Amino acid sequence: MLISLGIIILAIVIDQVTKLIASSSIPLNSPDIVWIPHLLEFSYHHNDGMSFGLLEGQQVLFMIATIIALLMFGYLFLDTDYKSKKVYSVSIALFIGGTLGNAIDRSLYGYVIDFMHFPFLDGVLNAVGLSNFYNNFADMFLSAAIVLFAIDVFFLEGKRKKKESLKHAETPEN
């Protein structure tokens, strides 16, 4: 549990510090600052919607969804175990850290601070009708959590259950 708490705190600190740096050093809605051509650009934006600018201005909805998500992640947090469920445990910690990172912004400012743009994704997003998007570290932690959680559910959980059933089959009956 201490490892998970450390990951959550580290995720929140990284997210909030980088947002503070972006908001204090990049003018709002400035043209993109190219850091790695075609890969990474920076521009400071206020996002009062969710990913891809959907549901703009629905702050009450986002706060309710955040509370529900945190309750769900808190329940899943009770099952974290770094000895037998490392990937699962890291994913839950990242879900909580990412959710809290963006919730802090929504609570303090009424919007989320976004500042990173990945231009190599523009073609794919435009093909499905989504415009360019900007994100932050909380968003990346949430994306990583989704991937890790899926890996655990689809690949590792079955192996754990199989190992556990073999362990029980080998235990002599008294």
The separation between the first and the last C-alpha atoms of the chain, rounded to the nearest angstrom, is 34
Task: Name the DSSP letter for residue 130.
Answer: -
Please calculate the CA angle 93-97-100 and round it to the nearest 5 degrees.
140
Catalytic residue check, 122: no
Quick count: other Cβ atoms within 10 Å of Cβ 115?
22
Beta bridge partners of 33: 42
Is the CB of residue 33 less than 8 Å from the CB of residue 26? yes
- Produce one character per residue of 93-104: b if its CB has 16 or more CB atoms within 10 Å, e if not: bbbbbbbbbbbb
* Structural element, H or E, at residue 112: strand 112-117
Catalytic residue check, 105: no
Count Cα atoms within 13 angstroms, Cβ side, for 142. 18
Q: Which residue among the candidates 79, 105, 122, 139 is catalytic per the annotation?
A: 139
Q: Which residue among the candidates 48, 114, 122, 152 is catalytic per the annotation?
A: 114
Residues annotated as catalytic (active site), given as ranges: 114, 139
